[in-house]
Chains A and B, each alone.
Chain A
Amino acid sequence: MNKQDYILSINDLKTQFKIGKRVVKAVDGVTLNVRRGKTMGLVGESGCGKSVTAHSIMQLLPKAGSIKEGEIIFRPQNSEEFDIAKYRKTDKKLRNMRGRQISMIFQDPMSSLNPVYRIGDQIIESIIQHERISKKAAIKRTVDMLEMLSIPQADKRIMDYPHQFSGGMKQRVMIAMGLITNPELLIADEPTTALDVTIQAQILELMQQMQEQLGFTIIIITHNMGIVADMADDIAVMYMGKIMEFGAKEDIFLRPTHPYTRALLKSVPVLGNGGNDRLEPIRGTTPDPSDMPEGCSFMPRCDLATEKCKNAPPYEDVGNGHMVRCWYAKGGAANE
């Protein structure tokens, strides 16, 4: 594949947090390629570093956190590629990029909108920030965008405040805010976790429709394997700051190879099975990120672990870009 086909290439990214004297390696050597115009799903349990990866891409880390190593190459369509990790947070280049080339939608729509400003003003702000445009034209664009996201009476609703919107409607406003500047990459961090299932279905459907119309790339972060099965083209499974398995959706669901991916798929009830198959829980709990085991981080919970796993396993291609971080990826585990 051509380098230009990847809108984003992350190489060996390490993001660490310093909490007192402890160093937490939240992201510990993530390597990822995101295909242009496609949807990539980043899945994992809480604390696995998926949100920190997203915040590193935007360089929106809190004070205690910093990118220690690695590069994040962003390749916009009509300008030079650049390494996001090389710039300082406050650099003009990044301020230009945030919200215009790369947008982000956060998990909780209830707290990501400012309660004291009108919805319209909050959306228009990001247009005015990035473009020389008259207020009238900006308002027109906002109304059009809200209509595209099927918010009824958009021209009146822009005068409303966030508390006048329901949860699902607020998330639509957040999506409008993200898409109004026509970004090339949209990062959605658990966009539907705070919503009810029927509203979740609305929002996911809407994101897919918008992607078809506008052609942007999506990175969707979630803990729900069902959502990635629905939305994603490629899937990366993260555990304790590392990508354990990466591949096309079919690779992950039909040929899961890493023991963690397989355990994850077996531990959730699947609708329609009627409780016939007993779930197989993953034993133990996730280790403390400031005190990680030597070698493979999944070793203490893995059924296949042997002496060999005390050394860090390689991140290998098992065929067609299906990458697995396990000693037993080739042979053993995969053929079980």
Chain B
Amino acid sequence: MSNQSNHTEILLDIKNIKKYYPIQAGLFRRTIGHVKAVDDVSLYVKRGETLGLVGESGCGKTTLGKCIVRLHRPTEGELRYRFDEDGEYKDLLSLDKKESFNARKKIQMVFQDPYSSLNPIKNILTAFDEPLRIHGWTNANERKERVAELLESVNLHADYMYRYPNEFSGGQRQRICIARAMCVNPDLIVCDEPVSALDVSIQAQVLNLMKDLQKEHGLTYVFIAHDLSVVEYMSDRIAVMYLGKVVELASAKKLYYHFEHPYTEALLSAIPIPKIGEKRQRIILEGDVPSPANPPAGCRFHTRCHKVMDICRVKSPELRPMKNDPDHLVACHLADTVEDIAEIPADAV
């Protein structure tokens, strides 16, 4: 049910997630600082929706994605996840071994590079067989049927299960990776740049397929990409990240026409649009993204912001809802957000 905001139930509630990587130096590998890849991010994902995460390289979007599937353990924070529609929320980071095993089934990931995420010496059946066997499909024939069914669901021939990855094109491989992520019936799939390694004419095939699968199986996606046009096409809501923080969060439609954060504005204006005739005001950001090991004081964007004020250099703005729209969150001193945290409706953050 993409692009409709009728999802209400929160599936995953990301609370104050931080992921710091130590920087070690010298003879005894002493820790001399931290790369703050993800710095205090709170977001929620509703069941059945697509949440887009965009930002430039190094903004922490992939790290956040990997924290969600627990490939990385966050330094701090909670990942509250609801396993059943009427069940309780449980923190994914403090599950016991058995619960943790079951939770892995529910959250799957599709990686960026379909060339390196399939083992070249295993045929497709073997690649699918392992997760299925581990997660309870004991009968070999049933497993084979399941693989055939999965391949057909991504528009590939069932006989392809005996082939090896090198026999497939990039688009086909990415479809196989999607089918593999689907094989244990997950609720949530984290897609990390699933189409950026593919040719333009192939991208559309994969994007449409992902939309169809979502509709059919009621999947929830966290869609990570650097290309805002792709994210906009896929997402219900979009979170824009900069240097480890979320700077703006809004519905896909709202973000394009009613952005509030200067970074979102610059990012939107920097994207070349395959249309002519409309002259767009282009905002060219100066300089590069600062190092996440030593982020600027105050607002992290102030060194490149075209609307910078004195307060931005000292005080870091918090991500708060807009006064006229509680679902639109902005972290900027210029935005007309609610002043007091107490005013925020309980379900907004």
Chain A residues in the interface with B (C-beta under 8 A): 45-46, 166-169, 196-202, 204-205, 223-230, 249-250, 253-254, 263-265, 267-276, 278-283, 285-286
Question: When chains A and B are docked, how far (Å) is the Cα of A268 from the Cα of B200?
Answer: 7
Chain B residues, Cβ within 8 Å of A230:
272-273
Q: Which of B60-68, B96-104, B224-232 contacts A (4 or more CB under 8 A)?
A: B224-232
Q: Decide: A253 and B276 in contact? CB cutoff 8 A.
A: yes
Q: Decide: A46 and B199 in contact? CB cutoff 8 A.
A: yes
Question: When chains A and B are docked, how far (Å) is the Cα of A224 from the Cα of B275?
Answer: 12
Q: List residues of B (245-280) whose CB comes within 8 Å of A's CBs.
A: 252-253, 256-257, 266-277
Question: When chains A and B are docked, how far (Å) is the Cα of A267 from the Cα of B207?
Answer: 10
Chain B residues, Cβ within 8 Å of A166:
288
Give 8 pairs: A residue, B residue, CB < 8 Å, sorted on A.
Answer: A197-B270, A198-B266, A201-B270, A270-B274, A271-B228, A272-B256, A279-B233, A281-B208
Chain B residues in the interface with A (C-beta under 8 A): 2-3, 56-57, 169, 171-172, 199-205, 207-208, 211, 226-230, 232-235, 252-253, 256-257, 266-277, 282, 284-286, 288-289
Known: A274-B256, A281-B201. 16 other contacts (CB 8 A): A168-B288, A196-B226, A197-B267, A201-B270, A254-B276, A264-B200, A268-B229, A268-B274, A269-B230, A269-B233, A271-B232, A274-B3, A274-B232, A275-B235, A276-B3, A283-B205
A265's partner among B232, B235, B256, B274 (CB-CB below 8 A) is B274
Interface of B is mostly: helix
Question: When chains A and B are docked, how far (Å) is the Cα of A197 from the Cα of B268?
Answer: 9
Q: Decide: A198 and B229 in contact? CB cutoff 8 A.
A: no
Asked, given contacts A272-B256, A274-B232, A275-B235, whether A264 binds B201 with beta carbons under 8 Å apart, the answer is: yes
Chain B residues, Cβ within 8 Å of A285:
169, 171-172, 202
Q: Decide: A225 and B274 in contact? CB cutoff 8 A.
A: yes
Q: Decide: A253 and B169 in contact? CB cutoff 8 A.
A: no
Q: Decide: B207 and A279 in contact? CB cutoff 8 A.
A: yes
Q: Decide: B273 and A267 in contact? CB cutoff 8 A.
A: no
Q: Decide: A269 and B270 in contact? CB cutoff 8 A.
A: no
Chain B residues, Cβ within 8 Å of A263:
201
| Chain A residue at minimum C-beta to C-beta distance from B235 | A275
Question: When chains A and B are docked, how far (Å) is the Cα of A197 from the Cα of B228?
Answer: 10
- Looking at the assembled complex, report how far the CB atom of A139 sits from the nearest CB atom of chain B, in whole angstroms: 25
Q: Decide: A271 and B285 in contact? CB cutoff 8 A.
A: no
- Looking at the assembled complex, report how far the CB atom of A281 sits from the nearest CB atom of chain B, in whole angstroms: 4
A-B residue pair count with CB separations less than 8 angstroms = 136
Question: When chains A and B are docked, how far (Å) is the Cα of A205 from the Cα of B288?
Answer: 15
Q: Decide: B275 and A229 in contact? CB cutoff 8 A.
A: yes
Between A197, A205, A223, A250, the greatest number of chain B beta carbons within 10 A of the residue's beta carbon is seen for A197
Q: Decide: A197 and B275 in contact? CB cutoff 8 A.
A: no
- Looking at the assembled complex, report how far the CB atom of A234 sits from the nearest CB atom of chain B, in whole angstroms: 13
A249's partner among B233, B272, B276, B284 (CB-CB below 8 A) is B276
Question: When chains A and B are docked, how far (Å) is the Cα of A257 from the Cα of B292?
Answer: 48
Question: When chains A and B are docked, how far (Å) is the Cα of A197 from the Cα of B267?
Answer: 7
| Chain B residue at minimum C-beta to C-beta distance from A230 | B272
Q: Decide: A196 and B275 in contact? CB cutoff 8 A.
A: no
Question: When chains A and B are docked, how far (Å) is the Cα of A202 from the Cα of B272?
Answer: 12
Q: Decide: B207 and A198 in contact? CB cutoff 8 A.
A: no
- Looking at the assembled complex, report how far the CB atom of B279 sits from the nearest CB atom of chain A, in whole angstroms: 11
| Chain B residue at minimum C-beta to C-beta distance from A272 | B256
A226's partner among B2, B56, B271, B277 (CB-CB below 8 A) is B271
Q: Decide: B200 and A278 in contact? CB cutoff 8 A.
A: no
Q: Decide: A205 and B284 in contact? CB cutoff 8 A.
A: yes
Asked, given contacts A226-B271, A268-B200, A271-B268, whether A281 binds B229 with beta carbons under 8 Å apart, the answer is: no
Question: When chains A and B are docked, how far (Å) is the Cα of A231 from the Cα of B273?
Answer: 11
Asked, given contacts A249-B276, A250-B276, A279-B207, whether A223 binds B268 with beta carbons under 8 Å apart, the answer is: no
Chain B residues, Cβ within 8 Å of A229:
272-276
When A and B form their complex, which 4 residue pairs have the shortest distance between CB atoms, in order from nearest?
Answer: A226-B272, A281-B204, A225-B274, A269-B233
Question: When chains A and B are docked, how far (Å) is the Cα of A198 from the Cα of B252?
Answer: 20
| Chain A residue at minimum C-beta to C-beta distance from B230 | A269
Asked, given contacts A263-B201, A275-B3, whether A269 binds B285 with beta carbons under 8 Å apart, the answer is: no
- Looking at the assembled complex, report how far the CB atom of A163 sits from the nearest CB atom of chain B, in whole angstroms: 14
Q: Decide: B284 and A197 in contact? CB cutoff 8 A.
A: no
Asked, given contacts A229-B274, A271-B268, whether A279 binds B208 with beta carbons under 8 Å apart, the answer is: yes
Question: When chains A and B are docked, how far (Å) is the Cα of A280 from the Cα of B201?
Answer: 9
Q: Decide: B229 and A269 in contact? CB cutoff 8 A.
A: yes
Q: Decide: A227 and B272 in contact? CB cutoff 8 A.
A: yes
A271's partner among B199, B226, B273 (CB-CB below 8 A) is B273
- Looking at the assembled complex, report how far the CB atom of B113 sits from the nearest CB atom of chain A, in whole angstroms: 14
Q: Decide: B204 and A282 in contact? CB cutoff 8 A.
A: yes
A273's partner among B233, B234, B267, B289 (CB-CB below 8 A) is B233
A253's partner among B256, B274, B282 (CB-CB below 8 A) is B274
Q: Decide: B235 and A280 in contact? CB cutoff 8 A.
A: no
| Chain B residue at minimum C-beta to C-beta distance from A46 | B199
Chain B residues, Cβ within 8 Å of A226:
271-274
| Chain A residue at minimum C-beta to C-beta distance from B253 | A274
Question: When chains A and B are docked, how far (Å) is the Cα of A272 from the Cα of B271?
Answer: 11
Between A167, A268, A276, the greatest number of chain B beta carbons within 10 A of the residue's beta carbon is seen for A268
Question: When chains A and B are docked, how far (Å) is the Cα of A217 from the Cα of B255?
Answer: 38
Chain B residues, Cβ within 8 Å of A269:
207, 229-230, 232-233
A267's partner among B200, B252, B271 (CB-CB below 8 A) is B200
